[in-house]
Structure 1
Amino acid sequence: MSAQNSVQPVIGVIGGSGLYEIEGLQNKEWRVCETPWGTPSDALLFGTLEGVQCVFLPRHGRGHPLPPSRLNYRANIDALKRAGVTDILSLSAVGSLKEELAPGTFVIVDQFIDQTQGRPRTFFEEGCVAHVSMAEPVSARLGKALADAAEEEGIKVSRGGTYVVIEGPQFSTRAESELYRSWNGAVIGMTNMPEARLAREAEMNYATVAMVTDYDCWHDSHGDVTVDMVVAAMKENTRKAAALVRRAIPRLGKERPLDKAERALDNAIITPPDARRPDMLARLDAVAGRVLGLADSDWGPY
């Protein structure tokens, strides 16, 4: 493969509730990172796993001080892009909207329904407008690797399913839960949007491991969801997630051809060059530098 058509992957892991580090990581170093979009949720943890370069970001910060609505999603994705990340593995605690997806099941999500409100969901604002395709928001290659790794670890896994993303931080009403079930939602959570949208704009491959902790509030025999219920299930899910990540990363770290998502901006920017605002271009140096004619040296990985 030529250098222009191949990638040496750097695997990024966004850890959800309860997952604040990658176990087994070598040459570990936490680095504080700033971006044109502000400060990420926490410092980034750099290291290697079986020779594969990895970057870890705790989505809510270590100790979970940040609620879903207050996460700086743009800073998080920009920071990972600046760190050289090519592939993002997103791990999230979720509720189940289907009987067969019992607590402890891992769902490899392939679609999203975004019910969030008011969160900045694009890097491309006034002065440089772009429209990327979100028809297939998840990398099938990453999803398969994660599902295969889960099965090899003996984790109950469902391949495919729609993740309904709500604003939170409150859990759903029963009427809302039943509505999302009528939409054929598989799981419900609060964090994967606009995260997945921004990853696509930044031309990074993205996949979600949705770790079921509860049945939301629709299931009559399981009671309403509570924080205690979620935390209890989360502890076991975190152990399984750590094993899954350790198994998946080595197989994802081999040189490979470019994926479609890594060319998402090829025909996405609609604002002509003479109408693009310099201040906006400066903020897009890492996210869109490839199509804006900015070399890596103009922004420099961490």
Structure 2
Amino acid sequence: TVNNLSVVYSQQGKFDQAAATAKACYDVTRRTLGPDNQNTWVGYNNLGQMYLLTGAYDEARRILVACVDASASANPTAEQQLFYKLTLGKFYLCTLDIAQAQSYLQMAHDGFKRLTSATHHHTRSALYCLCLCFLETMEDDDDAMLARIDALEDELKQAECHHDTWTGFPCHGCCRPTAGTYFTCPKCPPLARRFCCACVALAKHTLFCDHDAPLKGFKPPARALQETRLALLAKVSALKRAEYDRHVDAYVAYCVTYDVAEDERTIAATRTRLVACIRPIQLALAVMLAALVLTSVKRAVT
């Protein structure tokens, strides 16, 4: 359908064409089926998403809020209601209204998880955005942040997204799953165009954007959450040394498993690899010292 064509354009990063196509589709659907038909509302919501990707925030907000408000009277399906909340949550994330974003994204995530599964693409999409919300604003309470990291990490594992690939976020340069850090232009609308390391090296992003601004990188949530946890635990390492060491070991194992580039790993990882090498030596020295002490004791006794 024409509506699907607008989605294809958006996946290719052609947002102006996507918005124009979505507008034409919505106008035809509204005239044909009427303003209250569910297909009309679906097309209207799609138009709001396209406006968001082009940076037309006033139009996007008006449409996406209307879709959520209409849920009370237009009788959409449960999945449509959740999807409208998901798209409105993404809008608030893009405009950095984090409190509103977290509210709608949490409702969407929990609802899709109950209605479908933890691995459903809408559940995953909401979860990724919740992780971005958390990483965008840090609380003052370290314990609360550590608890939130644990909760998000558990959700990532349930969603089978605890790895170094952005599941459901393909690169606009090669249309492949984005592995590792994804890059975006800070002057373009947030969550719009994204590029993998390989495409950035080939300067493919310049085919979509002429801002010529330094790109901003986003690490996969599974890695970013671990690094945030390490930074928090490092501040209280004297009190939680064992916990800190355990999580550093897990982080190093993660980086090795998913072949994370050395220059993208935290300093803690380098330090821990040295510690990992030193520990066996320390253990061997301790055994040798114990043997010497035992020998000395035996000699003293005899």
Superposed pair shares fold, TM > 0.5: no
Structure holding more helix per residue: 2
TM-score (norm 1): 0.27
Greater C-alpha Rg: 2
TM-score (norm 2): 0.27
Structure holding more strand per residue: 1
